[in-house]
């Protein structure tokens, strides 16, 4: 850096993604996307800026207070989108010709002015998968199964658990055993696992609640004394998901979720030890689309961020590059340099990722670069290869070299051959 030049720091809560990391993130997104498509979901996308009005009275106070909002040059109050659900609902409410149910997914960035901490940033990626236009328990079950299937494919299926609940059920329990004070009970349940037991008791006291009843709700014991059709609904989701995959899943009355718009079923996924935060979360929101002027459209879905899953995959040693067919082309001389264009084209046509030397460097420097970039194989080209129409493949870890035809290259990735 020249004297007087100043380094400009990255904003707090924002991340830079260098290739070694972004390649792995790309695989995460690919798994999310492939699984959504296997479940019959279609991709959608929305804008990065929305009018603030879209969030008023829908997402809740917490998100409203976390928005990156400002006035644009026309004096309009707008915000960077903090979540996708309101946009998705707006998209549905503004078109009458959509074939229901819609099964939509999207992977995009969202912005929330939160306190940056492990698993929480001010800018993050989130997969959203939603089924809009069905009130069936089958839609809830498919949504939960989809989330479980993504986690299984990422290799963490055994390490996580799913927790499901219903606000309708919880409200009925509160109405019967606590009377009113829904907000207070929600507040305590939402913080339950973060609080020490004596702090819980203090909070229960200050809210004027009965300790035994709140404990019975938090532990789920109260369900045994209760009969409600929403409980049957939860049980049928449990049965469906358990027969679909062997993921661990249970009813947990403490799952209330922070967003205001959920109308019934809600769920989250956590690592079994709860070392981290919720990996994903979602539920049913049957009223927003109508509130936005659309037809009554019951909907259910979830949001799955890139940050908590990254922590869990790192802990499990799974945050690493997948092997792919890729080679680096080393040019020995000017003939090799000429010839490398044809070879690159033919290899790329075969679906192999080809990186080609673009520097004025000798062979050993080119090989150094290939090794540093982690290429398993280099393809070495010179006058000899150009004349015969062959390639020389060097295994970068063993140093072994062999000359072959371009078509024979596929063999190097077959087990036991190189
Ligand atoms: P949410 O619980 O606010 O729900 O977020 C869902 C997931 O997004 C979280 O579990 C987490 O993985 C990720 N996430 C949220 N905030 C952050 C942050 N600041 N940094 C990193 N990751 C974050 C929703 O957003 C709902 N709109 C989900 C939904 C879709 N419900 C129905 N359909």
Identify the structural domains of the chain with CATH numbers, from first to last. Answer: 9-315 (3.30.930.10), 326-413 (3.40.50.800)
Count other Cβ atoms within 10 Å, centred on residue 294: 19
Q: Cα–chain-centroid distance for residue 415?
A: 33
Contact by Cβ (8 Å): 113, 122: yes
CA distance 229 to 392: 69
DSSP 188-219: HHHHGGGS-HHHHHHHHHHTT--HHHHHHHHH
Contact by Cβ (8 Å): 80, 111: yes
Going by their DSSP bridges, the two strands 102-111 and 123-132 should be labelled as antiparallel
| Atom from ligand 1 closest to the CA of residue 285 | 32
Measuring CA to CA, how many Å separate 407 from each of 38, 389, 390, 403?
Answer: 32, 11, 9, 12
CA distance 370 to 166: 54
What's the pLDDT at 2? 63
CA of 238 to the centre of ligand 1 (A): 22
Least confident of 316-325, 332-341, 375-384: 316-325
Give pTM, 2 decimals.
0.93
According to DSSP, residue 117 is labeled B
What's the pLDDT at 15? 97
Best mutation site among 305, 306, 309, 313 for ligand 1, i.e. most ligand atoms within 8 A of its Cβ? 305
Q: Which residue has the tokens 């509130």?
A: 291
What's the pLDDT at 272? 96
CA distance 28 to 280: 14
pLDDT tens-digit map of 207-243: 888 889 999 999 999 998 888 999 999 999 999 999 9
Can you tell me the mean pLDDT for 280-297? 96
* Helix or strand run (H / E) with residue 353: strand 353-356
What's the pLDDT at 304? 98
Indicate if the pLDDT at residue 418 is higher than 50.
Answer: no
Nearest 10 degrees: Cα torsion 98, 101, 103, 106: 40
Indicate if the pLDDT at residue 181 is higher than 60.
Answer: yes
Can you tell me the mean pLDDT for 408-418? 80
Going by their DSSP bridges, the two strands 265-271 and 280-284 should be labelled as antiparallel
| Atom from ligand 1 closest to the CA of residue 63 | 3
Can you tell me the mean pLDDT for 28-53? 98
| Atom from ligand 1 closest to the CA of residue 66 | 19
CA of 73 to the centre of ligand 1 (A): 30
308 lines ligand 1 (CB under 6 A): yes
Going by pLDDT thresholds of 50, 70 and 90, the confidence category of residue 1 is low
Output the residue whose Cα is nearest ligand 1's atom 10: 280
């Amino acid at each position: 850096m020249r004297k007087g030049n100043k380094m400009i720091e990255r904003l707090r809560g924002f991340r830079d993604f260098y290739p070694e990391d972004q390649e792995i993130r790309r695989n995460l997104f690919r798994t999310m996307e492939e699984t959504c498509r296997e479940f019959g979901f279609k991709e959608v996308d929305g804008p990065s800026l929305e009018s603030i009005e879209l969030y008023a009275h829908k997402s809740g106070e917490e998100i409203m207070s976390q928005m990156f909002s400002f006035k644009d040059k026309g004096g309009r109050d707008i915000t960077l989108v903090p979540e996708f659900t309101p946009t998705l609902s707006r998209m549905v409410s503004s078109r009458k010709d959509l074939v229901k149910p819609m099964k939509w997914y999207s992977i995009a960035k969202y912005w929330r002015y939160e306190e940056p901490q492990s698993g929480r940033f001010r800018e993050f990626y989130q997969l959203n998968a939603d089924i809009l236009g069905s009130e069936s328990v089958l839609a809830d079950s498919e949504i939960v199964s989809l989330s479980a299937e993504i986690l299984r494919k990422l290799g963490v299926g055994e390490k996580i658990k799913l927790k499901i609940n219903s606000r309708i059920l919880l409200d009925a329990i509160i109405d019967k055993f606590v009377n009113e004070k829904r907000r207070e009970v929600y507040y305590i349940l939402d913080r339950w696992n973060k609080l020490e037991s004596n702090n819980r008791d203090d909070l229960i006291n200050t809210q004027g609640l009965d300790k035994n009843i709140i404990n019975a709700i938090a532990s789920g014991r109260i369900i045994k004394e209760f009969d409600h059709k929403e409980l049957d609904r939860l049980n049928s989701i449990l049965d469906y998901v358990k027969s679909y995959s062997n993921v661990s899943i249970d009813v947990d009355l403490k799952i209330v979720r922070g967003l205001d718009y959920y109308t019934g079923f809600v769920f989250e996924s956590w690592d079994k030890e709860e070392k981290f935060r919720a990996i994903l979360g979602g539920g049913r929101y049957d009223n927003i689309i109508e509130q936005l002027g659309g037809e009554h459209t019951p909907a259910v879905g979830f949001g799955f961020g890139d940050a908590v899953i990254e922590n869990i995959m790192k802990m499990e040693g799974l945050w690493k590059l997948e092997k792919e067919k890729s080679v680096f082309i080393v040019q020995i001389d000017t003939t090799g340099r000429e010839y490398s264009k044809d070879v690159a084209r033919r290899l790329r046509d075969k679906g192999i990722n080809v990186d080609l030397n673009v520097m004025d460097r000798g062979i050993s420097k080119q090989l150094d670069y290939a090794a540093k970039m982690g290429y398993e194989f280099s393809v070495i080209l010179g006058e000899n290869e150009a004349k015969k129409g062959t390639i020389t493949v060097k295994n970068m870890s063993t140093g072994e070299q062999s000359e072959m035809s371009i078509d024979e290259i596929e063999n190097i990735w077959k087990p036991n051959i190189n």
